[in-house]
Amino acid sequence: MQDFLLRERQGVISERLRLNGRVLATELALEFGVSEDTVRRDLREMAAAGLCERVYGGALPVSPAHGSLTQRIGFAADRKQALARAAAQQIAAGSTVFFDAGSTNLAIANALPAELALTAATNAPAIAAALIDKPAVNVILIGGMVDRQTGGALGAKALRDMEQISPDLCILGACGVDLEAGITVFGFEDAEFKRFATSRSKRVLVAATSEKFGTAAPHSILPVAHCECLVVEHDADPAILARYRERGCRTVLAEKTN
């Protein structure tokens, strides 16, 4: 009977996450008539099974940003291109920009105007290859062991290389974006590198497709308040965007895709 009730509770929690985008332990405890410790234990088990991502006070849906870089490049390509065009307009001529690994950031690199002069650093060979075709862009490739999942160099060598650069702008890759959980990613080493890259940068920009919002991955990068610019899809909820702006995030809408 106890196992049945556990499965029943977890089924309800999964449904709440699907409908509401988050759950709170206090509210679930009242609804189920159990202790908050019992609910937290349920959430821990669900998180271990990959069914949710635990955050302070409750849980969020797991970010959908799974798969290798090659797989992610093919997902929502037209929407990423729209984000890329909007993000490219936020890059100032003559600046030093760090392009973090990621499929959307690769699209941003491809979207840069040919005449835009800047110094670009990246830990992603695919992004470096895209940038080298831009005649006005000086390219710095950050080295080290390339992680197949992220498509970027990570680890000690990458951190040492990043230490030599002070970008005006960091174009940060993200798996999850949430008002409370902040900017999150799946990989531990990836998170370590991203945190260091943002600490070296004057400004941070994140361009993310809609399904990443209100989701989380296991490793935190930074609070949304430290993200100066958030590039979002054209149909993003205005009420939610207002809450991001209250946290200090400037929001930029991409154009509508066909």
Angle 159-163-166 from CA coordinates, rounded to 5°: 130
Instruction: Give percent of the chain with pLDDT exceeding 70.
Output: 94
What are the pLDDT digits (tens) for 17-63? Answer: 877 778 888 888 888 888 888 888 888 888 887 787 788 888 888 77
Asked if residues 173 and 73 have their Cβ atoms less than 8 Å apart, the reply is: no
pLDDT at position 72 is: 62
| Between 54 and 153, the higher pLDDT residue | 153
- Statement: residue 13 has pLDDT above 90: no
The mean per-residue pLDDT over the stretch 119-131 comes to: 97
Structure confidence at residue 4 (pLDDT): 45
pLDDT tens, residue by residue, 217-240: 889 999 999 999 999 999 999 999
Q: Are 136 and 118 in contact (CB under 8 A)?
A: yes
Of 197 and 74, more confident: 197
Residue 154's H or E segment, with its range, is strand 152-154
